[in-house]
């Protein structure tokens, strides 16, 4: 009898956890759909929509890196390299850049084609990087990927004949569609169909595009997660020796994780190039790789919904909370009659200046605090959650087992 009850409670627990993921997806989807209309209505401009579209790039990156780090357990510290490869693939073939290169001919290939080209090029580089390095384990792999992440931006910087180097590639083509629908959700007065629509710098259009890309990516990654390949990744993460003994070719399986993870980054890169209109080598530095990694770990490694939340939270923290902190502090102190705090005086630099200087210290403190308070991430996968409950659960099992034995 206790066995049956424990089994029931277990099933119930499973249901609840599964429901939680479904609920998170549902809430995210509703917020995503209402976001442009709500924010345009509330603020009168599209600033928050374009912010959300930028955040979407990071979500895409985090979802991709989650395949490598969360599923297959490979620590990749050079993920931004694939992002750069995707962005440069698009930028080179959708701008005037190659006219001044030894090719003397500018290409203007359509965005929709280059989205997939960027994806495949990044995947190919993922495989090229993976092939010689995936025999390495753990820390060694991390160091090699770190090196790769440093080399790629340097290459784009120094191949200035082709990439313009430090001058970056500007005036990149924007995507266009034969028709587009606009309406009150995008701040227009009426619902209307626009012919020969060019995305130009329309934040709502980019927002719609990135939301569709993210939904597609999440569906595909979810499919992979619960498949033959997904199980093979997890098996390698758990125990590589045992996985090999079960007939899993660990080298090709890890290679696939690298290539598929990289392809999402390439995808995001092409989108980034188009939406930003400018691609420069210093947009792909080490800090980008680390930020994406932080998003994955903080959101809940291995859990796709958690990783999305993590990406949004970190983006919001970095680009909104911390960046506007000095100004907010200044106006706050003025409002409550402590304006004198803003005057620099000897060693005191003034409140807003201090906040400006301490931004990254605060960021670090927040990350450390988060990891101390919730080491499994905001929305951990069931795996991480189990890790914490492990002691209790084992005890329970023993009871079940004894009940069976008697």
Partner 1 sequence: MSEAPAGRDSILELTELTKRFGGLLAVDSVSLQIKRGEVFALIGPNGAGKTTLFNSVTGMFRPTSGRVVFDGRVITGSKPHEVARLGIARTFQNIRLFDFMTAVDNVKVGRHVRMKAKVWDSLFKLPRERHEEERVTEEAMELLRFVGIARFANHYARNLPYGQQRRLEIARALATEPKLLLLDEPAAGFTPQEKVELMELVRKILTRGITVFLIEHDMKLVMGISERIVVLDHGEKIAEGPPEEVRKDRRVIEAYLGKSA
As given in the structure block, the two tokens for residue 141 are: 């792999």
CB of 301 to partner 1, least distance (A): 11
Best CA proximity match to 312, nearest among 214, 385, 398, 400? 214
How far apart are alpha carbons 91 and 118 in whole angstroms?
A: 10
Is residue 215 a contact point for partner 1 (CB under 8 A)? Answer: no
Among 178, 247, 337, 346, binds partner 1 (CB under 8 A): 247
Considering only residues 75-94, where is the footprint of partner 1 by CB under 8 A?
Answer: none
Find the part of the chain contacting partner 1 (CB under 8 A) among 16-24, 153-161, 231-239, 286-294. 231-239
What does the radius of gyration of the chain's CA atoms come to, in whole angstroms?
Answer: 24
Q: Does 228 bind partner 1 (CB under 8 A)?
A: yes
Minimum gap (Å) between residue 392 Cβ and partner 1: 10
**Which position among 5, 7, 29, 135 is part of the footprint of partner 1 (CB under 8 A)?**
7
Q: How far apart are CA 292 and CA 274, in angstroms?
A: 20
Alpha carbon distance 311, 309 (integer Å): 5
Asked if 229 is part of the footprint of partner 1 (rule: CB under 8 A), the reply reads: yes
Nearer to partner 1, 61 or 243 (CB): 243
Residue 239 in contact with partner 1, rule: CB under 8 A:
yes
Taking CB under 8 A as the rule, does residue 250 contact partner 1? yes
Cα(63)–Cα(285) distance, integer angstroms: 19
Work out how close the CB of 399 gets to partner 1 at its nearest, in angstroms, rounded to a whole number: 10
Q: Contact between 136 and partner 1 (CB under 8 A)? A: no
- Window of 74-82, 236-244, 270-278, 364-372 that interacts with partner 1 by CB under 8 A: 236-244
Interface map 353-392 toward partner 1 (x if CB under 8 A): ------------------------------x--xx--x--
| Residue 64 near residue 228, CB atoms below 8 Å | no
Confirm or reject binding of residue 5 to partner 1 (CB under 8 A): no
Query: What pairs with residue 193 in β-bridges?
Result: 181
Residue number, 17 or 32, with CB nearest to partner 1: 17
Closest to 294 in 3D by CA, of 79, 149, 107:
79
| Among positions 72, 243, 305, 314, the unique one binding partner 1 when judged by CB under 8 A | 243
Tokens for 47? 């600033």
By beta-carbon proximity to partner 1, the closer residue of 108 and 390 is 390
33, 192, 193, 242: residue in contact with partner 1 (rule CB under 8 A): 242
Cβ-based nearer residue to partner 1, 45 or 401 = 401
| Of residues 367 and 383, the one with the C-beta less far from partner 1 | 383
Least gap, CB of 128 to partner 1 (angstroms): 18
Taking the C-alpha atoms of residue 291 and residue 282, their distance in angstroms, rounded to an integer, is 15
- Could you list the residues that contact partner 1 (CB under 8 A)? 3, 7, 10-11, 14, 220, 223-224, 226-232, 234-235, 238-239, 241-250, 256, 260, 383, 386-387, 390, 393-394, 397-398, 401, 404
């Amino acid at each position: 009898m206790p066995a049956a009850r424990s089994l029931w409670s277990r099933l119930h627990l499973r249901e609840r956890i599964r429901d939680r993921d479904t609920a998170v997806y549902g809430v995210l989807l509703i917020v995503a759909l209402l976001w442009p209309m709500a924010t345009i209505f509330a603020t009168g401009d599209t600033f928050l929509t374009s912010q959300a579209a930028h955040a979407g790039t990071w979500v895409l990156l985090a979802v991709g890196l989650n395949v490598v780090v969360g599923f297959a357990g490979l620590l990749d510290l050079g993920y931004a390299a694939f992002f750069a490869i995707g962005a440069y693939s698009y930028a080179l073939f959708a701008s005037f850049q190659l006219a001044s290169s030894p090719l003397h001919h500018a290409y203007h290939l359509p965005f929709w084609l280059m989205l997939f080209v960027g994806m495949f090029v990044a995947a190919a580089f993922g495989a090229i990087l993976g092939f010689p390095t995936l025999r390495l384990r753990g820390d060694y792999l991390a160091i090699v990927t770190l090196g790769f992440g440093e080399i790629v931006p340097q290459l784009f910087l120094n191949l200035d004949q082709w990439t313009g180097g430090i001058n970056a590639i500007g005036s990149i083509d924007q995507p266009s569609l034969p028709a587009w629908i606009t309406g009150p959700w995008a701040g227009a007065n009426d619902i209307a169909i626009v012919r020969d629509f060019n995305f130009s710098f329309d934040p709502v259009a980019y927002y719609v595009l990135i939301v569709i890309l993210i939904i597609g990516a999440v569906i595909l990654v979810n499919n992979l997660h619960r498949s033959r390949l997904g199980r093979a990744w997890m098996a390698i993460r758990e125990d590589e020796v045992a996985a090999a003994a079960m007939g899993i070719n660990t080298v090709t399986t890890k290679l696939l994780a690298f290539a598929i993870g990289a392809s999402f980054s390439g995808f995001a890169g092409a989108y980034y190039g188009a939406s930003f209109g400018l691609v420069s080598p210093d947009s792909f530095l080490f800090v980008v790789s680390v930020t994406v990694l932080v998003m994955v770990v903080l959101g809940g490694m291995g859990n796709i919904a958690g990783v999305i939340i993590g990406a949004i939270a970190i983006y919001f923290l970095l680009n909104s909370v911390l960046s506007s902190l000095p100004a907010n502090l200044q106006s706050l102190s003025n409002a409550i009659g402590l304006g004198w705090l803003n005057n620099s005086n000897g060693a005191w630099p003034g409140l807003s200046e201090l906040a400006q200087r301490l931004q990254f210290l605060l960021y670090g403190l927040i990350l450390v605090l988060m990891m101390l308070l919730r080491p499994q991430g905001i929305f951990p996968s069931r795996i991480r959650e189990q890790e914490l409950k492990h002691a209790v659960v084992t005890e329970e099992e023993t009871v079940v087992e004894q009940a069976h034995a008697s």
